[in-house]
């Protein structure tokens, strides 16, 4: 397993106690066992999440976005299959160092997650009302009757029509969009501080996508919660993100406020992602796919992990691992590319690296 500049025993960062910072992640590294050897799927990931902020994790499939969220939620297998190191400070506690009983009290209450496919996340043999009410009974100590009344209110909140009747129906009786709304209701039941949403609009048509995103944004503002949105769709990012972290091969390669990232993409991978977006003002023939593919965790290239696919790579990129470093004159915009950012010339603890 690769070394990490941070460990779970690191002291809380200076801003961990600042009221507007709800989560400070440093040096998050997650490695999986493959044939007796551990290989990092997420490596040295770091970011700060502010209150009432939407942070989008963006990248192709296999870049480590979901693993990052699952690591922070402590939902991965035990140490024989998976090892997680680094630190994640929330309310003065390092999530990665908490005991499982302590984490169980937080998970589903102050930290919630919406998973990629709602049909596989919902129990097919239990009515929707029972599933929405379960966290209310477990975390808030409500009676079954009180939980049912609150579940009805939550289904109304996420704009499910005829909620009183729907409460007693089963997941297969809901459309994909309605099942996603049920998952949002469950995630919000205990009024969490942080909500991780893993591809919440995948497989939904564009109209339902827009409705779900608008709903998440409205609920974030109403409830003053922080949202970590995982997606590969930069169109989604442009419509909802306050800040964006672009991930490639388990690393954050660019991080910036959303408006700045779209106005001035600086990492070649970010540029390639933006060029690959279909646009109504372009001919189909102008679409530009990204050549190659994300490397598997057991065959990561030396040096910059994007170098084998990068059109501007230099010889040094194949050998030296760049740091995630702020661009000169722009401390809020960090880029992991020695060609585009001289400060990233060698790996080190710079910015959120």
Residue environment code for 90-116, b if the CB has 16+ CB neighbours within 10 A, otherwise e: beeebbbebeeeebeebbbbbbbbbbe
The DSSP secondary-structure symbol of 307 reads G
> Which stretches of 92-193 are assigned E, i.e. beta strand?
93-94, 111-114
pLDDT tens for the chain, residues 1 to 353: 433 333 333 444 544 444 599 999 999 999 999 999 999 999 999 999 999 999 999 999 999 999 999 999 999 998 889 999 999 999 999 999 999 999 999 999 999 999 887 778 899 999 999 999 999 999 999 999 999 999 999 999 888 999 999 999 999 999 888 898 899 899 988 989 999 999 887 767 778 788 888 888 888 888 889 999 999 888 889 889 999 999 999 999 999 999 999 999 999 999 999 988 776 666 666 677 888 899 999 999 999 999 999 999 999 999 888 999 999 999 999 999 999 998 987 654 434 44
The CATH code for residues 14-110+192-344 is: 3.40.50.300
Residue corresponding to tokens 């999440």: 49
Half-sphere CA count of 145, side-chain side, radius 13 A? 0
The pTM for the full model equals 0.87
pLDDT score, position 279: 66
Nearest to 85 by CA among 47, 48, 42: 42
pLDDT score, position 353: 43
For 93, phi and psi rounded to 5 degrees? Answer: -125, 140
Contact indicator for 257, 273 with CB cutoff of 8 Å: no
- 44: Cβ–Cβ under 8 A, 6 or more apart, which residues? 4, 5, 6, 27, 28, 29, 86, 251, 324, 353
Domain boundaries, the chain: 14-110+192-344, 116-191
């Amino acid at each position: 397993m690769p070394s990490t500049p941070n460990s779970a025993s690191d002291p809380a960062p200076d801003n961990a106690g600042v009221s507007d910072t709800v989560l400070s992640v440093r040096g998050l590294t997650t490695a999986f066992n493959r044939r007796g050897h551990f290989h990092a799927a997420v490596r040295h990931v770091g970011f700060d999440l502010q209150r009432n902020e939407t942070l989008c994790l963006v990248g192709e499939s296999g870049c480590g976005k979901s693993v990052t969220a699952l690591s922070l939620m402590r939902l991965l297998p035990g140490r024989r299959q998976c090892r997680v190191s680094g630190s994640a400070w929330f309310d003065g506690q390092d999530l990665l160092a908490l005991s499982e009983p302590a984490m169980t009290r937080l998970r589903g209450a102050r930290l919630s997650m919406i998973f990629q496919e709602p049909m596989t996340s919902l129990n097919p043999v239990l009515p929707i009302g029972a599933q929405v009410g379960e966290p209310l009974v477990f975390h808030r100590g409500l009676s079954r009757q009180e939980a049912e009344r609150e579940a009805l209110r939550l289904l109304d909140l996420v704009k499910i029509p005829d909620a009183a009747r729907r409460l007693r129906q089963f997941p297969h009786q809901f459309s994909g969009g309605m099942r996603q709304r049920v998952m949002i209701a469950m995630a919000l039941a205990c009024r969490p501080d942080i909500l991780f949403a893993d591809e919440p609009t995948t497989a939904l048509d564009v109209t339902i996508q827009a409705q779900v995103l608008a709903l998440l944004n409205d609920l974030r503002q109403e409830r003053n919660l922080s949202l970590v949105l995982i997606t590969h769709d930069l169109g989604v990012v442009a419509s909802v993100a306050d800040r964006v972290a672009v991930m490639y091969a388990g690393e954050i390669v660019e991080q910036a406020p959303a408006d700045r990232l779209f106005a001035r993409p600086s990492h070649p991978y970010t540029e390639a992602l933006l060029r690959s977006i279909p646009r109504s003002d372009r001919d189909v023939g102008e679409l530009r796919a990204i050549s190659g593919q994300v490397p598997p965790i057991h065959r990561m290239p030396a040096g910059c992990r994007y170098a084998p696919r990068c059109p501007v790579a230099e010889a040094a990129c194949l050998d030296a691992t760049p740091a995630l470093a702020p661009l000169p004159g722009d401390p809020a915009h960090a880029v992991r590319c020695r060609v585009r950012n001289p400060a990233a010339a060698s790996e080190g603890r710079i910015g959120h690296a």
